[in-house]
Structure 1
Amino acid sequence: MKVQKITQPATIASMEDWGSVEGLPGTGSIGLSGLQKVIPGKEDIDTGIFECGVGSYRRSVKQAEIMHFLNGNGSFTPDGEETIHFKPGDSLFFEANTEGTWVIENTMRKLYVIFDAS
């Protein structure tokens, strides 16, 4: 199938349990879920919907990433740079090897594309 559709991604009630990430001190474990889409012939591109609960954690993705927020709000502080706040409707573009700290104030859901930018 050349075109895959995700109907109303902001309101999908049931997504796959993707486990959890250990939050920064004082946050505890943060639940993760999502819905991954595979592009045939381009399995090295990770795309779909990602959702995480409230808390603060370090970004661990090493590839470049494009994301568009559907729900939630919070911030991302790249190491050594100013904090960037986000809300539904915002999009962020990450260079490869961008490290920093997420602070999720309300459960966040985003559409994402992770890819090798080299």
Structure 2
Amino acid sequence: MTNKIKNITDENFKKYLLTNKKYLLVDFWATWCAPCQSLSVILKEIYNQYQDCLKIIKIDVEKNIKLTSKYSVQSIPTLILFKKDQVIDKNIGFLSKEQLCLFLNKHMQ
């Protein structure tokens, strides 16, 4: 994982969310999830394209039960896009690079 995409925990998520000035894409994932691993590769690929307006973080659903429950994550991968501390959109399931760009571009104009 690139240093630019951080793993966040139940304990530091709120602070990270409230201090972030860009859009925030949160990837709920698990180490055993094959689609999650494939999506991680795509997130690394698009990071440079969107780094001026987007931060990407990852939350391991097995280690961060509070956040997983708070955002009603029942299937992974789940992506949630935030602006400030508000949920803008949510996607459940794997996205190709093109689909992920469409998902982001729909909101980041």
* TM superposition score normalised by structure 1: 0.28
Q: Which has the higher contact order (CA 8 A, sep 6+)?
A: 2
Computing the radius of gyration from Cα coordinates, the structure with the larger value is: 1
More strand by proportion, 1 or 2? 1
More helix by proportion, 1 or 2? 2
* TM superposition score normalised by structure 2: 0.30
